[in-house]
Amino acid sequence: MKNFTIFAAFSSFYKKVSSMRQYHSHRYRAIRLTVVSAILCWTCTDAAAQLPEKNPYEEHLIFWRYPNNYLENQARVAFATIDEVLQAYPPQKEPALPRKMALISLDQLLHDTHNDKSEPFYTFINTRLQRMLEDMDRPVKKGLRIYKLYNDGFIIRTKDATVAVDLTPGGTKEHPFIADSIIYRIAGHCDAMFVSHSHGDHANLDIAKAFASRGKLVIAPKGLWEGVDPMIQQLLVADTTVDVPFKELNMTLHILPGHQDDMYNNIYVMEFHRCGTVAHTGDQWNEDDLQWIDNVNKRYKIDVLLPNCWINSMERSLKGFGPKLIITGHENEMEHTIDHREAYWITMKKFERMQSLGIPNVLMTWGESYDYKR
């Protein structure tokens, strides 16, 4: 009824304007265009307003006039298939083509901002981290097991120790990427946590407090969380290396004074006795530090290096640490804009170009693990 009344009013106005045509043909055309566009615009808006908010045909897989609903369903199917492929082709030095394809497809989904903070994204990451949590009951008999978590978060396990580095849930406090019910249970499996620097994609005070409240040590860089809890300690007070024996974990921690620009960024060299040595670089990015990084390989025999995938002077830095294996971190940090959300394919390309280094790498994504034996 409403449509009819408004349409009748427009018709009558249109007729009146038509009678002016022989006198003012220019003005007539302009008015005619305005009236026609107004009618079209009104009809479309009215039609859109009549669409139900939720696509009633979704369960029949019909998405006409619901493009966002279509994209959401496509993402859900793609994430689930990627998850299946990654399980069938776990991390290895020379990944098979399906695994590479799955990682590149994941890059595509994670660089399509339709999927940022979307339900398919949350389901994907939480399904994987829940599976990882269950896997943490699997004993480590020999060597090292390295889990990759969100962003630059890693957990390293030996038969004697489970330590976390830069454990964060991502997202916001109200809406974390990894649900509290999962991340805090993962933290519960760990004996200690080492935090590289104060940026929010590496340092999470709530998680640090969860460690401290259970009497587990957290090591943070200078200036971060000082005085918060006696179990949260800043051991590096001058720009020299500090060695911390952890007898009960059968390991020694070496803290190296790195920087991200001018910010303190502890580089942790974790020496797990008779199991292997792992170094985590945090967000290392500083030209001056390259002078001493060149010689790290002379002081420590590093088995596995966990560098940020965009570390500055990558080839020189990797040579300086001189590890036997590299597992990069920090790909697809979802809080970054897509140009600085470094993709897995970029890491693949970098290593293709650095083949002359002769150091193998294993490219991993969220919730995966790799067993390293000397």
Please report, as ranges, the residues that interact with Zn ion according to CB under 5 A: 199, 201, 260, 283
In whole angstroms, how close is the CB of 196 to Zn ion at the nearest point?
Answer: 8
Q: Based on CB atoms, which residue is closest to Zn ion, 31 or 178?
A: 178
In whole angstroms, how close is the CB of 37 to Zn ion at the nearest point?
Answer: 50
In whole angstroms, how close is the CB of 325 to Zn ion at the nearest point?
Answer: 22
| 276, 301 Cβ separation under 8 angstroms | no
In whole angstroms, how close is the CB of 264 to Zn ion at the nearest point?
Answer: 11
Q: The tokens of 239 are what? A: 């720009």
Q: Based on CB atoms, which residue is closest to Zn ion, 243 or 287?
A: 287
In whole angstroms, how close is the CB of 133 to Zn ion at the nearest point?
Answer: 23
Tell how far CA 52 is from the center of its chain.
34
| Count of Cβ atoms closer than 10 Å to residue 170 Cβ | 21
The 3-state DSSP class for residue 129 equals helix
Q: Based on CB atoms, which residue is closest to Zn ion, 115 or 168?
A: 168
In whole angstroms, how close is the CB of 301 to Zn ion at the nearest point?
Answer: 27
Q: Which of 210, 234, 231 is nearest to 220 (CA)?
A: 234
Residue 5 has phi, psi (to 5 degrees) of: -60, -45
Q: Based on CB atoms, which residue is closest to Zn ion, 150 or 211?
A: 150
Q: Based on CB atoms, which residue is closest to Zn ion, 201 or 289?
A: 201
Q: Which of 115, 229, 247, 130 is nearest to 179 (CA)?
A: 130
Q: In this structure, is the dihedral angle defined by the CA atoms of residues 340, 295, 325 and 281, taken in order, positive or negative?
A: negative
In whole angstroms, how close is the CB of 202 to Zn ion at the nearest point?
Answer: 5
Q: Based on CB atoms, which residue is closest to Zn ion, 277 or 308?
A: 308
Q: Based on CB atoms, which residue is closest to Zn ion, 116 or 134?
A: 116
In Å, what is the CA distance from 57 to each residue of 61, 118, 119? Answer: 7, 21, 19
CA distance 213 to 292: 36
Q: Based on CB atoms, which residue is closest to Zn ion, 127 or 313?
A: 313
CA distance 339 to 324: 30
| Sequence-ordered strand ranges (E) for the chain | 144-148, 154-157, 162-165, 192-194, 217-219, 232-233, 242-246, 251-260, 263-272, 276-280, 304-306, 325-326, 368-372
In whole angstroms, how close is the CB of 31 to Zn ion at the nearest point?
Answer: 59
CA distance 186 to 47: 50
